[in-house]
Chains A and B, each alone.
Chain A
Amino acid sequence: MFKELELDALKEIGNIGAGNAATALSMLLSKRVKMRIPEVKSLPFDEVSMLVGGPENVVSGIFFRVEGELAFNILFILGPNDTLNLLKIMLQREKADLNLTSLEESALKEMGNIIASAFVAALADFTKLSLKISVPCLAVDMAGAILSVPLSLYGCIGDTAFLLETEFEEGLDDIKIQFFLIPDDDNAFKVLLNSIGVRASNGNNSSGDGRI
């Protein structure tokens, strides 16, 4: 299990990345964007989908794979209304349903790309780790199905997922974007901590007891 100091350090790393990402989103939309302080959570797999409205809830998911000295996954989740409101700002036209055209899909992926890249750039800068981010992938589908991709990886080592979560919110147009950083395993968080000189304790966080 991670110690308090280590959790604080992880949150701070998340904060630096997410701050950069929020700025990028704000510039993209030319709007004020609020960001929640990132939280580090350890959750049973089933409960992760409850964070985004339950496994059957239809959401837009934009997924990135980050590889290099650290392997993790970045996932943005937007509810149906958030997706439509975002598209309205980006493309200047009204949209009634989630049958997206390829232009609309590109717009969502590009939005994800801009904020994920800002996050990863800040992370790489701060930690001096070499990181490579994939192209964006988009799916509009059941939340459980979208989350199954990064969560399955975690299944190799435990029954709980250890993840970093935050939220970006643009209040005027009612857009909320949930951000998840899900590493392949607990080791990724240790590498992160070591990279900034915090010696990580040698515990497996995904012990299945739901505690951090």
Chain B
Amino acid sequence: MEIIRVGMGEYKTAKAPAILVSYGLGSCVGVALYDSTKKIGGLAHIMLPDSNLASKRDFNPGKFADTAIERLIEDMMSLGANSKKLVAKIAGGAQMFQLKSENSMMMIGKRNVQAVRTKLNRLNIELIAEDVEGNYGRTIEFSCETGKLTVKTIGRGTKIL
């Protein structure tokens, strides 16, 4: 079975029985999209809430919630997925360090989660499960066969969404 790694700021798509994996999510959010009828999955490992934050125009769309989700859907559709059938599961968005700072970027986890929810809502994609925020890291595995998202932690057990 193929295991496809999705690194920081990347988004990838796959067909069953492949598994899409992101290791060590902290403030980043993993967005898994799935078309269960075609068994096509996609995973985006987003780092930042909004592409407005990019200082250059030729930025990598995979880093930002708004652009990454759009591109991921495009890629899934070109693989044969039906955009109306897509559902979403998300995990991550932790605040790893409790820190008072003038820089709102220090609360980036929460902002990432909100941005993802807003974007999914705007695209009419139902968010059917989530494991977000908190102050711990997560490794996620998304099965394109079952549509299940496995969330692993250090010392806090494993959840299956």
Determine if B28 and A134 form an interchain contact, defined as CB atoms under 8 angstroms apart. no
Interface hits, B21-45 → A, CB 8 Å: 23-28
Determine if A159 and B9 form an interchain contact, defined as CB atoms under 8 angstroms apart. yes
Determine if A145 and B138 form an interchain contact, defined as CB atoms under 8 angstroms apart. yes
Q: Is B101 an interface residue (CB 8 A)?
A: yes
Interface hits, A33-91 → B, CB 8 Å: 45-46, 49, 54-56, 58, 61, 63, 65, 67, 71
Q: Is B154 an interface residue (CB 8 A)?
A: yes
How many angstroms from the CA of A66 to the CA of B125 in the assembled complex? 40
Interface of B is mostly: loop
Q: Is A7 an interface residue (CB 8 A)?
A: no
How many Å from the CB of B104 to the closest CB on chain A? 11
Determine if B103 and A65 form an interchain contact, defined as CB atoms under 8 angstroms apart. yes
Determine if B101 and A67 form an interchain contact, defined as CB atoms under 8 angstroms apart. yes
Interface hits, A154-184 → B, CB 8 Å: 155-159, 184
Interfacial chain A residues near B8, Cβ < 8 Å: 45-46, 144, 148, 151, 155
| B100 to chain A: closest residue by CB | A134
Total number of A-B contacts with CB less than 8 angstroms?
120
Q: Is A142 an interface residue (CB 8 A)?
A: yes
Q: Is A204 an interface residue (CB 8 A)?
A: yes
Interfacial chain A residues near B26, Cβ < 8 Å: 141-142, 144-149
Interfacial chain B residues near A99, Cβ < 8 Å: 155
How many angstroms from the CA of A139 to the CA of B7 in the assembled complex? 21
Interfacial chain B residues near A135, Cβ < 8 Å: 99
| A134 to chain B: closest residue by CB | B99
Interfacial chain A residues near B103, Cβ < 8 Å: 65, 67, 71, 184
Determine if B105 and A58 form an interchain contact, defined as CB atoms under 8 angstroms apart. no
Q: Is B82 an interface residue (CB 8 A)?
A: no
Of the A-B pairs whose beta carbons lie under 8 Å apart in the complex, a sample of 26, sorted by A's number, is: A49-B24, A58-B154, A63-B97, A63-B99, A65-B106, A67-B103, A141-B136, A142-B23, A142-B24, A142-B139, A142-B154, A144-B8, A144-B23, A146-B26, A146-B96, A148-B8, A148-B26, A148-B28, A149-B108, A152-B28, A153-B105, A153-B108, A155-B8, A155-B47, A157-B56, A159-B9
Give chain A's interface residues, CB within 8 Å of chain B.
45-46, 49, 54-56, 58, 61, 63, 65, 67, 71, 99, 134-135, 137-149, 151-153, 155-159, 184-185, 204, 208
Closest 7 CB pairs of A and B: A144-B24, A145-B137, A145-B26, A148-B26, A55-B24, A137-B97, A142-B137
